[in-house]
Structure 1
Amino acid sequence: MHQGGEQSKAQQAALALAALGVVYGDIGTSPLYTMKEVFSGNHPIPLTPDNVLGILSLIVWALIVIVSIKYVVFIMRADNRGEGGIMALIALALHDAKGNPKRERAIMLVGLLGAGMFYGDGMVTPAISVLSALEGLDVATPAFRPYVIPMTLLVLFALFFFQRRGTASVGALFGPVMLLWFGTLATLGVVSLSSNPQVLYALNPLYGLRFLFANPGLAIVAMGAVVLSITGAEALYADMGHFGSRPIRQAWFSFVIPSLILNYFGQGALLLADPDSASNPFYHLAPDWALLPLVVLSTAATVIASQAVISGAFSVTRQAMQLGFVPRFDVKFTSEKEQGQIYLPGVNWGLFLAVVVLVLGFQSTNNLAGAYGIAVTGDMVITSTLAIVVAARGWGWGWGRAVALFSCFLVIELTFLYANILKIPDGGWFPLMIGSLVFVLMSTWKRGGQLLSSRTSGEAIELDMFIDALLISEPVRVEGTAVFLTSRNDRVPNSMLHNLMHNKVLHERVLVVSVEVFDVPYVPEIDRVDIQKLKGNFYRLNVQYGFKDDPNIPQALALCAEQELVIDMMSTSFFLGRATLVPRIGSEMAYWREKLFIFLFRNSSSATSFYKIPSNRVVELGTQVVL
């Protein structure tokens, strides 16, 4: 018994170390640029003792209230069968709003806007993180200044190039490297703090409140930079499915937040002792001999932070595909053991292109800081809004209690958001543009899919009636099994009608198969396939997946043997409908959105590759659909 307990503790410690490497890279690298942006950014505030203590107090209490209380204590309770993240939260909120179409639509729109902000954040994070690390070379000697941008682009290219190999090979290094990173943060902070310990007065929240009320105009500008200290808080929730909530909480309270606070206070102590260090207070904490090793360690930490964000973008895109919010992308699995380790080439190189544009366009972390905060705060506001629905309905709190709690967080987050709206001309327009673009794409694909489904199913014949009529004058039946994929298995697939029209035959066994994705992460294999035997050797199959499952129709059909339906793949043909879409003026969707949907539809990955169907067993039959 004692041994089992020890093993459990060892496992928890290992998971906490792994979480340290994957979850906390983004928030862990924020000391590189937060204090620098406050006191020497594009809108610096005067460097006075009162201002330094006020800023430190705001940073500490933002970490405590938003990260520790909101995310670690409350938001991580909103798990969808162990999974977290914006898509899981949307699924939970939609489940709790069932039966109320207006609320469902509002939740979906708000959630899609949050997903758009997530992608905006995912583009800015690698750019600002890696650039901020390599700007340490400029602190070492101005001679390195011309090489900062080229080296940043080189590091970023290597990062995105190696995504196709997956994180499994280097993932084991993430935890120890970040352990060294946070240890370095704490050490640098303690050394500096020991020479000027009076900055610890800033632990008192009154210093932060006094700063806000004494300088309202200045305070709003400062809040736009303070929010940089809590970037990456969403990762705690998004990566919950990989590690579980307990190791993430353990790593946060035992190591991450103490290291962050010590480093911020160390930077504050340095600023009071040497105001000239405001140009880059993080790197000025280090002695000269340690500067270049610190740049190397910082670059490694920022690459890890970027890796986590990129992997998160892959995961969210895959979940969005399953829930019908984005077109099918080519998905490659990079690990034979870990289902969650995936690579999406289209998403990867799209992100890389956006990151290159950001680095070349903004040139410095001071300029990029304006683009960073608005995506983060927008995402936080949307998370709190969706959490109100989940807490009120899913947790049984009732609307009063849920609104009362999350309104406290929303007041702070809306203040952060307002402060960052003021930075729109300085770069905040970029993530807003990306978020809006992703929102339009996702909402258009979802609405277009619903429209296409209603068009095809509205003209379809009921399957049971069709089989009855077919048996009266039965066509020629040939050997083998025919699988007809359709969105609704109670209707006759268009591909079946076209096959009968052109080939005048039916296979001796016919399977009408539909795929249903539920708002849960995974569906157990025992519940994967629901089979209903019909007349004339017809079968109706419903294949069920969660939004994190990997769809594989041949594997699902192999499971039918357990229900006495044995399917030989070598004698099975798959019939797929290939629709040609035609836009129509005066439809339920705007004409330009119809054209956009048709473009996305034509360029999406084929059902053959998405469902892992052997291409040499597929027959495609075309049809024309007027939207």
Structure 2
Amino acid sequence: MSSHVRKLSAAGVLVTLGIIFGDIGTSPLYTFQTLLKEGGSHGEFLVLGAISCVFWTLTLQTTFKYIFITLQADNRGEGGIFSLYALVRRYGKWLAIPAIVGAGTLLADGIITPPISVTSAIEGIGLLPSLAKDFVPGNTLILGIVIGIILLLFFVQQFGTNVVGTLFGPIMLIWFVMLGTLGVLQIAHFPEIFKALNPMYGVHLLTEHPRGFWLLGAVFLCTTGAEALYSDLGHCGRKNIQVSWIFVKTTLVLNYLGQGAWVLTQHKYTNFAGVNPFFEIVPHFFLIPSIGIATMATIIASQALISGSFTLISEAVSMNFWPRITIKYPSNIRGQIYIPSINWLLCFGCIAVTLYFRTSENMTAAYGFSITVAMLMTTILMYYFMRYVKHWPLWLVVIIVCVFLSVELSFFVANAVKLLKRLFFLVFEFGLIFTMYIWYRARKINNRFLNFVDLKDYIPMLHSMSNDQGIPKYATHLIYLTKANNHKQVEQKIIYSILSRKPKRADVYWFLHIERMDDPYTMEYTVQELEDDKVIRVEFRLGFRIQPRINVLFRKVVEDMISRGELDITSKYESLSSYNLPADFQFIIMEKFLSYNNNFSVKEGFILNSYFAIKGLAQSEAKAFGLDTSETRIEKIPLVVNPLSNIKLKRVETGM
């Protein structure tokens, strides 16, 4: 996203409406309907109390926590739980756990938000008298339309959204204006509804209603998009989000008030089962356009969540929380990516949710738990941000965190009763969190057993071998990727690969190292010639949102060095050098496999076996680093964590 969109401007606010507020902006489609269903009555006590709870949830949770506090935790303009983790990870190794859990639950939200939003919109067609018999919630026709929209939505991801994306802002502006207008029309008939803004109505509902506290599970639906709001910070900028939220919140509150006013003026319903107040407050002549606008708004909300999922996984790969997978770039827009495996995984999940729950009412009964967990994890990380990054006073941080935790733990407990209705999601969430945890822990175990040696001790050998005509030349330029942070060191396995496994004579030995920076879009490099024209180390400093396309980056380094007169890549072969042909380059990628010669604990064994099982399904390192297969050789090396010892093998002497 260009920098001018991040600055406060009318264009920036319009773009923000299209990208940021789709999820939370479509919640009026189902939130109040769910409250009426679970409340079991429609008197003033329930209606005023429910709207009061919704208003103060939007105020405390969305406005106070996310708009005012959490948006300050921007990592060079970027938001999201991994951006936040990158800011605070130095203050505790264990902070990786809330980052993993928060990311996993946020990703799990991606398989229910599109179905519940789109289904809620399409079900509105059933209010048309001529189509009421055909469009019954949960029937095959509605399911077919919803699944068709979902399939189309995920299919177009591979082409990028830069063309249709320009329409998102204007469409969402129309949507929010419609929300506010519909609300005002109903409020005019029952202005007493403004009493609902008094927090005491909410308190009375939660303490005196038979289901009281448990209604918070339905109330929470009004703020489920708050976490995604923070994740999309980098697309629009803090100021644009904060300013546009004033307009968005106003229209949302007006619509909720309008739905409440309509309910309190109705006498034809003895109960509101199967009735959606959102579409009931729409004038009959405007019903078809409103359904069309609602459908487009839900598609936009789903698109924002899908794009956010791609970004989240991309960051997870960069920060070693997720296996390397294919990441594509469908357009030239910065940050716009497409991950085929995640795209179709989410698509399958969305279709499964649609077929399993069938109606939006059933979906809302299972919705919300994942986001409460994600919000709790963000609060934990925010404590460290406020205390150690912003250096706020301890007493102030404790008060803020206690307010957040009291609200979110209440929502968590209220949503916990939905667990039996959402076992499908638990499997999905567990799979995501398990994958991240295993990948993270296994990499830590792996790195623990890396042995580094001083490169200077081996430079004379490399120099001698390079000049030894008795050894066949392996390549003119031989390139290894190293994990050694110290530029004077390299892994022992690399030295073994060069000198012992099969001597690899080359004219120039390159060692490339990638350092992941907390700044999301850093792209820098340094060059150190450890031995003139013989041993060169290149340090790439890449932000966690930059894909390590080493082939492209290394080519750029070589071009820069040639232009500076620091490197000559003319072929060293006598028969070719006179023709000024370029020399050859050869990458060596060292892939590990779990050796049988190990004797580790049950826990480490489970983690490592799971890691290599997952790795077998992941993208190869050569592809992950964008290396040309014709210039890359793979060497398999065993991972020995705890070698077998004390083998009781006895030699028996035989008489001759």
TM-score normalised per structure 2? 0.88
Pick from 568, 576, 582 the counterpart of residue 595 of structure 2: 582
- Offset at residue 401 of structure 1 (A): 1.9
**CA displacement, residues 275-320 of structure 1 (integer Å, 9 cap, x when unaligned):** 6366111111112222222222111111110000000000000001
Partner of 1:282: 278
Mapped pair 1:194 → 2:183: no
Pick from 309, 313, 334 the counterpart of residue 313 of structure 1: 309
CA distance in structure 2 between the aligned counterparts of 1:10 and 1:520, rounded to whole angstroms: 19
CA distance in structure 2 between the aligned counterparts of 1:187 and 1:36, rounded to whole angstroms: 19
Instruction: Judge which range, 127-136 or 483-492, deviates more.
Output: 483-492
Partner-residue secondary structure (3-state), 1:55? helix
Partner of 1:522: 521
CA distance in structure 2 between the aligned counterparts of 1:325 and 1:332, rounded to whole angstroms: 19
CA distance in structure 1 between the aligned counterparts of 2:243 and 2:525, rounded to whole angstroms: 35
CA distance in structure 1 between the aligned counterparts of 2:552 and 2:6, rounded to whole angstroms: 37
Aligned residues: 604
List runs of 5+ in structure 1 lacking aligned partners. Answer: 1-6, 98-102
Partner of 2:574: none
CA distance in structure 1 between the aligned counterparts of 2:250 and 2:418, rounded to whole angstroms: 30
Alpha-carbon distance change, 566 to 197 in structure 1, aligned in 2, over 3 angstroms: farther
- Is the Cα–Cα contact under 8 Å of residues 549 and 625 in structure 2 kept in the other structure? yes
Partner of 1:462: 454
Mapped pair 1:27 → 2:40: no
**CA displacement, residues 311-361 of structure 1 (integer Å, 9 cap, x when unaligned):** 00000000010000000110000112x121100000000111111111111
Partner of 1:370: 365
Residue type of the alignment partner of 1:566: L
- Offset at residue 530 of structure 1 (A): 4.5
CA distance in structure 2 between the aligned counterparts of 1:430 and 1:567, rounded to whole angstroms: 60
Mapped pair 1:566 → 2:579: no
Partner of 2:408: 413
Partner-residue secondary structure (3-state), 2:639? strand
Partner of 2:505: 506
CA distance in structure 2 between the aligned counterparts of 1:402 and 1:310, rounded to whole angstroms: 33
Alpha-carbon distance change, 544 to 567 in structure 1, aligned in 2, over 3 angstroms: farther
Partner of 1:602: 616
Alpha-carbon distance change, 434 to 399 in structure 1, aligned in 2, over 3 angstroms: farther
- Is the Cα–Cα contact under 8 Å of residues 6 and 238 in structure 2 kept in the other structure? no
RMSD: 2.3
Alpha-carbon distance change, 209 to 565 in structure 1, aligned in 2, over 3 angstroms: farther
Residue type of the alignment partner of 1:264: Y
CA distance in structure 1 between the aligned counterparts of 2:360 and 2:6, rounded to whole angstroms: 41
- Offset at residue 432 of structure 1 (A): 3.6
Residue type of the alignment partner of 1:581: L
CA distance in structure 1 between the aligned counterparts of 2:347 and 2:134, rounded to whole angstroms: 28
Partner-residue secondary structure (3-state), 1:621? strand
- Is the Cα–Cα contact under 8 Å of residues 206 and 215 in structure 2 kept in the other structure? no
Q: Which structure 1 residue ranges, 4+ long, deviate > 6 Å from structure 2?
A: 7-11
- Is the Cα–Cα contact under 8 Å of residues 467 and 536 in structure 1 kept in the other structure? no
Alpha-carbon distance change, 565 to 368 in structure 1, aligned in 2, over 3 angstroms: farther
1:344-383 equivalence runs, <5 A: 344-383=339-378
CA distance in structure 1 between the aligned counterparts of 2:529 and 2:213, rounded to whole angstroms: 63
Residue type of the alignment partner of 1:227: F
Partner of 1:156: 150
CA distance in structure 2 between the aligned counterparts of 1:603 and 1:475, rounded to whole angstroms: 42
Residue type of the alignment partner of 1:139: L
List runs of 5+ in structure 2 lacking aligned partners. Answer: 570-581, 642-656
- Offset at residue 434 of structure 1 (A): 2.6
Alpha-carbon distance change, 44 to 50 in structure 1, aligned in 2, over 3 angstroms: closer
CA distance in structure 1 between the aligned counterparts of 2:69 and 2:123, rounded to whole angstroms: 37
Pick from 202, 209, 227 the counterpart of residue 208 of structure 1: 202
Mapped pair 1:46 → 2:60: no
TM-score normalised per structure 1? 0.91
CA distance in structure 2 between the aligned counterparts of 1:85 and 1:291, rounded to whole angstroms: 37
**CA displacement, residues 40-75 of structure 1 (integer Å, 9 cap, x when unaligned):** 2xx343211111001111101111111111111110
Partner-residue secondary structure (3-state), 2:366? helix
Alpha-carbon distance change, 499 to 72 in structure 1, aligned in 2, over 3 angstroms: same
Pick from 220, 233, 248 the counterpart of residue 227 of structure 1: 220
1:72-471 equivalence runs, <5 A: 72-95=67-90, 97=91, 103-105=92-94, 107-140=95-128, 141-145=132-136, 146=139, 147-215=141-209, 217-253=210-246, 255-274=247-266, 276=269, 279-336=275-332, 338-427=333-422, 429-455=423-449, 457-458=450-451, 461-471=453-463
- Offset at residue 492 of structure 1 (A): 4.0
**CA displacement, residues 228-272 of structure 1 (integer Å, 9 cap, x when unaligned):** 00111112211111111011111111x201110010000001111
Residue type of the alignment partner of 1:464: K
- Is the Cα–Cα contact under 8 Å of residues 465 and 505 in structure 2 kept in the other structure? no
Instruction: Judge which range, 437-446 or 617-626, deviates more.
Output: 617-626
The percent identity for this pair of structures is 31
Considering only CA atoms, is the larger Rg found in Structure 1 or Structure 2?
2
Instruction: Judge which range, 182-191 or 140-149, deviates more.
Output: 140-149
